[in-house]
Amino acid sequence: MVAIAAERRPFALLEPPAASTTNIATAGRALGRSITRVRSVAHVAWIDGRTQVAKKLVPRSQLQGMTKKERQRFVREVRRAEMLRLAQQRRQRRILGWSVAGLAVVAVGSIVTIGTVNAVASASTPTATPAVVVGPANMLSDGLLFTGDGTTATATRTAALTDGEDPVATVSDAATTGILDVQVYLDPTNADAATLWSTIGASLEAEVAAGSISLELHPVVAQSGDVNAISAVAAFSCVADTAPDEGLAAWDALLTQTATAGLTSLEVATTVQGALSDATVDAVTSCMSAGTFTTWADDASTRAATTVAAAGADLTQGVVVTAAGSVYTGAVDDATAFQTFLSDAYTAAVGE
């Protein structure tokens, strides 16, 4: 126990006037209250040379009238009460110490057990790392696929391409469904591409809405590193990612801008925004502003070049159309030649 006063001396009391024994009980009750409520320490008393006892000051008004003998009796009562209190305090501290020690052992045991269980679980159950998305949603094949129900063309929903994942090519099933699959690879900034789309675009859109064909749009960068083309392809990808059913409208707008006045990265955003509804324009704009799919645009174009090369086409020209594996080789402004190409491709696919 910390000593309150440095000087060791006998317990001393003031010398008040004499009083009767009745006052002792009153002062004792007052002292009991002061011990349990306030510890006003004046001196330090030493008992048997070992135990420190804090002496409480008692107001003089409560000691008035005591004789010397009464004061001595009072001192003994104070010492006895204080010693009892200190003994009880020591017992409580010991019991508390044992309880805390016991709880600490239990807690440590629990922590070790939980840690062991977690370690075993971690070792037996590998943690799954979320795949990094590198491409737009709904273009898992690197293209946006449209099909029709007889009246409306609707974009097919797919997951996004993730890092290290290869695109999943759309499989031609014309032989079993009778629906001709058409793939269009166009550089949105290329003049020949714009001419071809102005020649065949409207008829293709009508055919897909009617359910006669499926139409997969592949925006590509014909010349690697072309900033204008990368910007246009990335912008279209933002539409596919957040508003896929408006993909055809955005595609039309980009190629129409190229055909009429040319398309640079400066016009891409406003061109796409003008083709969108109020409900989707903000999300697409945010995607374009962040340049979300610019890296994907160049990478997807490189993959597309390999794909069409396998069919005998050259993507560097900015215009490639295939149907059920056949490649269109006619003029970009010849609508009749293109319709003949589709008819021949259908016949070859379904065996009619």
Full pLDDT tens readout for the chain, 352 residues: 344 333 433 333 333 444 444 443 443 444 344 333 333 333 333 333 333 444 444 555 555 677 766 766 666 676 666 666 766 776 666 655 555 445 444 444 554 444 544 544 444 555 556 678 889 999 999 999 999 999 999 999 999 999 989 999 999 899 999 999 999 999 999 999 999 999 999 999 999 999 999 999 999 999 989 999 999 999 999 999 999 999 999 999 999 999 999 999 999 999 999 999 999 999 999 999 999 999 999 999 999 999 999 999 999 999 999 999 999 999 999 999 999 999 999 999 988 6
Q: Are 240 and 208 in contact (CB under 8 A)?
A: no
DSSP state of 185: E
- Predicted TM-score (pTM) of the model is 0.65
Digit-coded pLDDT (tens) for 48-82: 333 344 444 455 555 567 776 676 666 667 666 66
Query: Helices 335-350 and 191-210 sit at what angle, rounded to 10 degrees?
Result: 50
DSSP state of 223: S
Which amino acid, 73?
A: R
Residues 6+ apart with CB under 8 A from 279: none
Domain ranges of the chain: 22-110, 144-350
Q: What are phi and psi of 109, to 5 degrees?
A: -60, -40
Residue 230: enclosing H or E segment and its boundaries?
A: helix 227-242
**Both structure tokens of 323:** 């149907």
| CA of residue 11 relative to chain centroid, distance | 71
Among the CATH numbers 3.40.50.300, 3.40.30.10, 3.30.70.1560, 3.20.20.80, which is that of 144-350?
3.40.30.10
